[in-house]
Structure 1
Amino acid sequence: MGDTIELYQYHVWANESVFKHLSNLPKDVYRKPVQSVFPTIGDTLAHIYIVDNVWLTAMSGAMENFSSLLPSWQEEVKDATFERFYEIFSKLASRYELFLTGETDLDAIAEYSHPTYGTLRARYKDIVQHVVNHGTYHRGNISAILRQLGYTGASTDYVFYLYDLNR
């Protein structure tokens, strides 16, 4: 298995670890407001989901569809229940895995145009690295929110993924 696909599988594992952890807490904890980077865990999950969609769309070469797709992604997460979040994250992970296993050259360079930052030329594997790093950062935000609410966070460090693979 390629390193890029394995790295993405870590991202999926870490997201699932957060969902598993949240499922053991009071049902409404993901909607409790706090003073943080995002006002709720649900808002943080929504952000991760939307950005993951943006980058999959970009890597798939369909950025011209971004403007029409963004409202549907926002609607999917607007009032999403915990169960709905889990469902849409799972479906998105399946779409990523189809893309990654179907792409013959993850070292291939593609161009990504941004209205503010200009054009980025990057390998698919670099974009996947960004998606994983972005998710890691915001899963840390979720742990911080949980601490503010009096709960522990989920252990999602990469080394815990490696330990889990060895079980």
Structure 2
Amino acid sequence: MSSLDHFRLMAPYNAWMNARVYDAAERLTADDLARDRGAFFGSILGTLNHLAAADLIWLGRLAAHPPLSGRIELAGLPQPTGIRFIVSDELAGLRPIRERIDRVIVGFVDGLTEADLVGTLAYRRVDGTAHRKLLSSVLSHVFNHQTHHRGQVTTLLSQAGIDVGVTDLLALIPDID
């Protein structure tokens, strides 16, 4: 599988899993969602906000990259100033933003070429540190980051008595005839 095909698998998987997590989270009360459960970002809602904020930060960096200019539409979306930025203080407000972020990611990845993936992305971290990284490596990080924190959320949901169900990427990989 090429890197491009891999990302074209990961983008819809990412959206599918986010929808499953949000469906599960909607079964909890606002208090349960906001309860500090000792995770990196405290609560289920805090972790979901972190994921949305981080994706928006990365999409902003990608949108500002000259070879990718015009391929990512972020108008009307929040512009986080850090990884603890609160995109929405309630799940009902966060979900439509998450869904739009996922549509943007899928559309962006669908428009990429192999040549794009070997390009260098120059960006600054929130703390101002400058970096230059291979675009394909950055995209790997973005999807890995989602998986990492979604795993935390599914654990927190499980501890709250909510089963997210199947979470494996394998569920979206077609059988070979």
For residue 144 of structure 1, report the CA deviation from its aligned partner: 2.2
Measured in 1, the distance between the counterparts of 2:171 and 2:33 equals 23
Equivalent residue, structure 2, for 1:57: 60
TM-score (norm 1): 0.76
1:110-149 Cα distance to aligned partner (Å, 9 max, x none): 23333575422212x3222211110111011112222333
Matching of residue 9 in structure 1 with residue 18 in structure 2:
no
Measured in 2, the distance between the counterparts of 1:3 and 1:152 equals 28
Measured in 1, the distance between the counterparts of 2:16 and 2:158 equals 21
Q: Which has the higher helix share?
A: 1
Query: Which secondary structure does the structure 1 equivalent of 2:131 belong to?
Result: strand
Q: Following superposition of structure 1 onto structure 2, how do residues 48-87 of structure 1 map, counting pairs within 5 Å?
A: 48-61=51-64, 69-71=79-81, 74=85, 76-77=87-88, 79=89, 81-87=90-96
Q: Is the 8 A contact 2:123 2:130 kept in 1?
A: yes
**Letter in structure 2 aligned against 1:152:** D
Query: Which secondary structure does the structure 1 equivalent of 2:87 belong to?
Result: helix
TM-score (norm 2): 0.73
Measured in 2, the distance between the counterparts of 1:101 and 1:151 equals 33
Q: Is the 8 A contact 1:13 1:161 kept in 2?
A: no
Matching of residue 91 in structure 1 with residue 100 in structure 2:
yes
% identical aligned pairs? 19
Q: 2:150 aligns with which of 119, 130, 139?
A: 139
Alpha-carbon RMSD across the aligned residues, in angstroms, is 3.0
Equivalent residue, structure 2, for 1:108: 118
Q: Give the number of equivalent residue pairs.
A: 157
Q: 2:29 aligns with which of 5, 27, 50?
A: 27
Equivalent residue, structure 2, for 1:120: 132
Measured in 1, the distance between the counterparts of 2:60 and 2:149 equals 20
For residue 101 of structure 1, report the CA deviation from its aligned partner: 2.7
- Pair 83,154 (structure 1): closer, same or farther in 2 beyond 3 Å: farther
